[in-house]
Structure 1
């Protein structure tokens, strides 16, 4: 496999995984559509991602998830559920598209956790803290603005990952590094 294809696949995996931190099911839906229409390659054993059943399930879940984030205080509850789900979804997407071929499954899933799960988890924690601050400052009235921004970030980021995977991955990784640095600095000062 050429190096450019490997870099593109890694960018795709990281980009889609990072978008799981904004919304869990939108990137899964985009990945399912990409696999169904053969826009993206998926690893052996992950062919289920490109089925009509997967598209239907992820589409339904995405619509419900988007709607639920517009209900004040329910959105904060969803963040507690979405954090582990984002890590799992990010890991699955990354493991589906990372070019590991016939390598050891431990390596495939390890790379999926490192590249996908960690990125999705970092963004989810950052957006969850932002929503928590918004709830505290505006009694939940400002959360719909944050939800709209997250929805747009998930849709644009996931779709952009199919078109410009390396660019989107770099932008989202920069965001993850920034959020991680900010969390470490605040934790070190005892502000969280």
Structure 2
């Protein structure tokens, strides 16, 4: 198993899990990243970076984010969002997995991506149900805001985590190199002169 395969699988599963918070946000951010060339969807999933897909996902994202602030509509959306998040999670993870066998490709995408999206969606549905039952729906906008923030921030973190990890690695290496150089300098200055 190569590092590229592992990175693609992690990216796909991370974005798929974010579909459990909001269905269209991770798809939109993946579409933008693919359009900018930051991520590369597998063959057959080039539609993810097309302009029409980007526009359609942007419109769907705006409607989805706004609809969760309408008290009666948010619970109806949870019913629709559960299968939709599993489908979106499966699409995202499958679009990034470099596997040639179609059955294994889609099966693994469904298990990893659809499963992680479904688990997160079930948790958010239960949270909203609890919020509705205990506060009469008054706290649902707060829950919706938290889910929106989680979806955006975790999707961005998933996409940019390799870059962040690389920057952190460089900073840590530079820190240790500077410390080693400082210790060598101190050692040479403290060494007894002949």
User: Common fold, TM-score beyond 0.5?
Assistant: yes
Counterpart among 116, 126, 132 of residue 135 in structure 1: 132
Distance in 2 between residues matched to 1:138 and 1:73, nearest whole Å: 14
Name the counterpart of 1:153: 150
Distance in 2 between residues matched to 1:115 and 1:54, nearest whole Å: 24
Distance in 1 between residues matched to 2:90 and 2:153, nearest whole Å: 20
Q: Once superposed, what is the RMSD of the aligned Cα atoms? A: 1.5
Deviation at 1:7, TM superposition (A): 1.5
TM-score (norm 2): 0.82
Structure 1 segments of 4 or more deviating over 4 A? none
Distance in 2 between residues matched to 1:35 and 1:27, nearest whole Å: 12
Counterpart mapping for 1:10-159 below 5 A: 10-100=9-99, 103-159=100-156
Deviation at 1:3, TM superposition (A): 2.0
Which SS does the other structure have where 2:71 is aligned? Answer: coil
Which SS does the other structure have where 1:113 is aligned? Answer: helix
Q: Deviations over 1:66-85 (max 9, x none)?
A: 00001112101100000000
TM-score (norm 1): 0.83
How many residues are matched? 164
Distance in 1 between residues matched to 2:70 and 2:137, nearest whole Å: 9
Which SS does the other structure have where 2:39 is aligned? Answer: coil
Q: Deviations over 1:99-122 (max 9, x none)?
A: 21xx11111100110110000000
Deviation at 1:137, TM superposition (A): 0.5
**Rg: which structure is higher?**
2
Which SS does the other structure have where 1:164 is aligned? Answer: helix
Q: Deviations over 1:5-49 (max 9, x none)?
A: 112111100110000000000000011111111100110000000
Which SS does the other structure have where 1:122 is aligned? Answer: helix
Distance in 2 between residues matched to 1:60 and 1:93, nearest whole Å: 18
Distance in 2 between residues matched to 1:98 and 1:124, nearest whole Å: 22
